[in-house]
Structure 1
Amino acid sequence: MSDISKTKIQKTLSGEVVTPPPVWFLRQAGRYLPEYRAVRKSCGGFLDLCLNPELSCEVTMQPIRRFDFDAAILFSDILIIPHVLGQKLWFAEGEGPQLTPIQTEEEFERTLSLGSIDEKMAPVIETVRLIRRELPRDKSLIGFAGSPWTVATYMIAGRGKDDQRYAKAMLRDQPALFDRLMELLVEATVAYMSRQIDAGVDVVMLFDSWAAALSGDGPAFARYCYGLNRRIAETLVERHPAVKTIYFPRGATLAQLAEIIVDRAFHCVALGEDVDAADLAERVADAGGDRQACLQGNLDPAALSDPEADMAALVRDNLARFAGRPHIFNLGHGITPTGIIGHVETALATVRSAQATAAPQVV
C-alpha cells in the first residue's frame, strides 16, 4: 500500500476532525450517471464488467472526475467471493444476483474451495492497481467485501431473500455446516482484502447488508455479524498496520451500534439513514463511549431522487448532527438509479462550504 496517510479520509479515520469533512457516496459509480450507463451497455453482463479491469477502473473513476469525491471505491460486487470460491454466479436482468445454492455438506464439498482464489480474483486485483495508478494522490481508495453472514445468505438461498430464512434454517438445523461455511468465508475475505491492500487500497469497508436479519438474536449477531467482522478487521490491521477499516452493520439496533462504537475495533462505523443520532448518542454515553469515535453517514439517499428536496438544508442538518467529531459525510445507503445529478452537486457544494462548529452534537 502506498503512503497516502495525508488524505482527508485517512486523517479522519485516524481521529482528526477535518473541516469540511471528507465526502464520498455509497454507489457513487452507478446507473444514475449517463457515462456509467454507456459503459454498462457496451460490456455485456454485470459480472463481465466487474471482471474487466479496464472498464471497472473507468467506472470507478467516473464519479471522481465528475464530482471530485475524496475517495474512490472499487467498482465490484460483494458476491465476487462466492465466485472465486467456485460457486456459479450470474446476474439475471431485472432479477438481481443468482447462485447455485449451497445447502448440504455434499454441495459444500463439491462446490467450494480456496484452491483457485488467487487466479479468479486476479482481474479485481488488477482493477485496484489500475485505479491506484490513475487516482490522484490526495484521494483514498476504498476496497470492500461483504461480511461472511451477508455473503452466506446469498450462497445458501441462491439469491437475495428479505427474511434470510434459508440461512437461518442452516444456522438452526445444520450448525456445524454453517460454522464451516463461516470459517471459509472469513479466510477467503481476509485473503481477498489483503490482496486489495497490497495492490493499492488504503481503506477497507465491510458491508453487513443483512445484519438486520440477526439483530433480534443478540448472541447470533455478536458471533456471526460483529464477531466475525471484528476478526477480519483485526487480522487485516495486524498484517497491514497502515490500513484503515470501516464497518457497516445495516439494520443493527441502537444498542448493538453503541457496543460496536464503544469497542473501537474498527476505525469507523457507518450508519444507515434510519439511525437516530440523538438516541445513539445517549446509548454511547451510557456505555462510556468515546465522543471522538469516527462515524460515517447518514443522509437518506431517497432525498437524492426527490425533485422537491431541499438538499442544502438536509445536508446542513446532517452535518450539524456530527459536528465537532471525526465524520465522513456519506449516505445511509447507496444512490439509486433515479438519483438526480443536480442534487449530488448541491449536496457536495454544501458539505464543502461547511465551517467548523464548536461542540459535538452526537456520540
Structure 2
Amino acid sequence: MSETPRLLRALAGETLDRPPVWFMRQAGRSLPEYLELRTQAKDFISFCHNPEMAAEATLQPMRRFPMDAAIVFADILLIPGALGQEVWFEKGEGPRLGELPEIARMADAVEGSTAKLSAIGETLARVRAELEPDRALIGFAGGPWTVATYMIEGRSSNREAARTFAYEHPETLDALLRVLVDATARYLVMQANSGAQALQIFESWAEGLAEDVFERIVSRPHRAIVEQVRAAGVTAPFIGFPRGAGALVENYARAVPVEGVGLDTQASAAVGQRLQAGGKTIQGALDNLLLRAGGPALDARVGALLEQWGGGPYIFNLGHGVIPDTPIEHIARVVGRVTGKPVKAMAAE
C-alpha cells in the first residue's frame, strides 16, 4: 500500500516529523527547461490549454527537487475567458482583459464554462498518472474577489478602481462574485475528479479591505465555494490563501471551512500558532524576495519558521510565488533544509 502523501497528512491535522514542502509558482518561473518549453507555445493562454505542455511544466520542478506536492500549471484568469471575457497576456506587462460582459450573460455561461476548461482536467490526469503516489497533486483557482479585480480593471493594478467599484456598485459586484463562485466551484469539482488531491483558493489581493468588506467579498464567497464543492461530493482538503489579510486572517479561519490557511510574509509566529491551536493547518510564510536573495538571512529564517510552527500541522511554503529570477540553488538549499536531505541544484533529467 502506498504511503499517504505527506501534504494530505498535514492537511488532515497531523503534526509530522517534518512539514511537507512545496512552493507557490514552482511550476516554471525560474527553471531554464520551463523557459525553453514556453518558447514552443503561441501564447500563455494557449500554453495553459495544452495538456501535454502544461503537464510537463507541472512536473519539471518535481524532477529537480523533492517537493512533496505538485501544483497544476494553469492561471487564475482562465475562468473569465470561459465566461466570455477576452483575456490575453502582454509580454513583459502581464494580463489584459477586454470589456466586462453583462453579468446576466456571464451567469448564463456558467454551466458551460467548465467544459471550456477541460484541458486543465486532462493536464491533472496526465500529471497524476506520472507523479509518484506519495507526492500530492494540487488543483487551484483564483479567489472571486481577486479575479473580479482583473475583470473590472482589465489589468493588474493597485486595485483602487476595483475597491471603489465595490463601494459604489455593491449589488453589481455581489452579482459578479456570485457568478464567479458558481463557476469556480464547478471548476474545482472538475479538477478534483481529474486527479487533484487538494485544492487551493488564491485570493492574491485580500489586502487593504475593511473588516466588513473583507467578510462580504472574501470570506463569504470562499465559504460558498467550499460548500458547493462539498455538496458535489468532493472530499479533497482545501487551502485558503487570503494574501495580505493581516489580522483578518483569523476572522477568515473562523468563517471559512478550509482545512489549511495560507499565511503571507507578514504573519507572526503567534498568529500561526493560534490558527494551529484552533484546528487549522497553516502554510507559508517565507518571503519570496528572501528566497531570491539567499545567504545567511535565508538560512536563519527557514530555521525560525520550522521552529515556531513545527509543533503543529504545518506546510512549508512561501508567502507569495517564486520570483522568475530566483537562483535554482537557493530553492535547492531550502528544500534540502526542510526535508533533511541535501539537494543539489541538479539539471533536469
With the length of structure 2 as denominator, give the TM-score of the two structures: 0.91
Superposition deviation, residue 292 in structure 1? 4.6
Change (3 A) 1:31 1:280: closer
Structure-1 residue corresponding to 2:265: 273
Superposition deviation, residue 116 in structure 1? 3.2
Query: What is the alpha-carbon distance in structure 2 between the residues aligned to residue 89 and residue 291 of structure 1?
Result: 40
Structure-2 residue corresponding to 1:359: none
Query: What is the alpha-carbon distance in structure 2 between the residues aligned to residue 67 and residue 188 of structure 1?
Result: 34
Conserved 8 A contact 1:5-1:11: no
Conserved 8 A contact 2:27-2:72: no
| Dislocated runs of 4+, deviation >4 Å | 109-112
Conserved 8 A contact 2:243-2:263: yes
Structure-1 residue corresponding to 2:156: 160
Conserved 8 A contact 1:142-1:202: yes
The SS at the match of 1:274 is coil
Structure-2 residue corresponding to 1:211: 206
Structure-2 residue corresponding to 1:315: 302
Give the aligned residue type for 1:233: V
User: Per-residue CA shift, 1:230-258, capped at 9, x if unaligned?
Assistant: 1211322343353100000011122x112
Query: What is the alpha-carbon distance in structure 1 between the residues aligned to residue 2 and residue 194 of structure 2?
Result: 13
Query: What is the alpha-carbon distance in structure 2 between the residues aligned to residue 185 and residue 196 of structure 1?
Result: 16
User: Per-residue CA shift, 1:52-103, capped at 9, x if unaligned?
Assistant: 100000000000111021111010000011011111000000110000132x
Change (3 A) 1:270 1:351: same
Larger mean Cα displacement after TM superposition, 170-179 or 51-60? 170-179
Which of 144, 165, 171 is residue 176 of structure 1 equivalent to? 171
Give the 5 Å matches for 1:1-363.
6-102=4-100, 107-109=102-104, 113-162=109-158, 164-214=159-209, 217-254=210-247, 256-263=248-255, 265-278=257-270, 281=273, 284=274, 290=277, 292-353=279-340
Larger mean Cα displacement after TM superposition, 127-136 or 271-280? 271-280
Query: What is the alpha-carbon distance in structure 2 between the residues aligned to residue 233 and residue 110 of structure 1?
Result: 24
Percent of matched pairs sharing the same residue: 38
Gaps of 5+ in 2: 342-349
Query: What is the alpha-carbon distance in structure 2 between the residues aligned to residue 89 and residue 4 of structure 1?
Result: 41
Query: What is the alpha-carbon distance in structure 1 between the residues aligned to residue 243 and residue 139 of structure 2?
Result: 18
Superposition deviation, residue 290 in structure 1? 2.6
Give the aligned residue type for 1:322: W
Superposition deviation, residue 272 in structure 1? 0.4
Query: What is the alpha-carbon distance in structure 2 between the residues aligned to residue 263 and residue 41 of structure 1?
Result: 43
Query: What is the alpha-carbon distance in structure 1 between the residues aligned to residue 84 and residue 202 of structure 2?
Result: 21
Query: What is the alpha-carbon distance in structure 2 between the residues aligned to residue 253 and residue 4 of structure 1?
Result: 39
Change (3 A) 1:241 1:49: closer
Superposition deviation, residue 278 in structure 1? 2.8
Conserved 8 A contact 1:150-1:210: yes
Conserved 8 A contact 2:21-2:69: yes
Gaps of 5+ in 1: 355-363
Superposition deviation, residue 329 in structure 1? 0.5
User: Per-residue CA shift, 1:182-213, capped at 9, x if unaligned?
Assistant: 11001000000000011111100001101104
User: Per-residue CA shift, 1:78-136, capped at 9, x if unaligned?
Assistant: 0011011111000000110000132xxx7444666225313311111111111111111
Larger mean Cα displacement after TM superposition, 173-182 or 148-157? 173-182
Superposed CA RMSD in Å reads 2.1
Change (3 A) 1:244 1:337: same
Larger mean Cα displacement after TM superposition, 177-186 or 262-271? 262-271
Superposition deviation, residue 6 in structure 1? 1.2
Query: What is the alpha-carbon distance in structure 2 between the residues aligned to residue 230 and residue 117 of structure 1?
Result: 21
Query: What is the alpha-carbon distance in structure 1 between the residues aligned to residue 243 and residue 301 of structure 2?
Result: 21
The SS at the match of 1:269 is strand
Query: What is the alpha-carbon distance in structure 1 between the residues aligned to residue 189 and residue 3 of structure 2?
Result: 18
With the length of structure 1 as denominator, give the TM-score of the two structures: 0.88
Paired residues, number: 340
Superposition deviation, residue 175 in structure 1? 2.2
Give the aligned residue type for 1:71: A
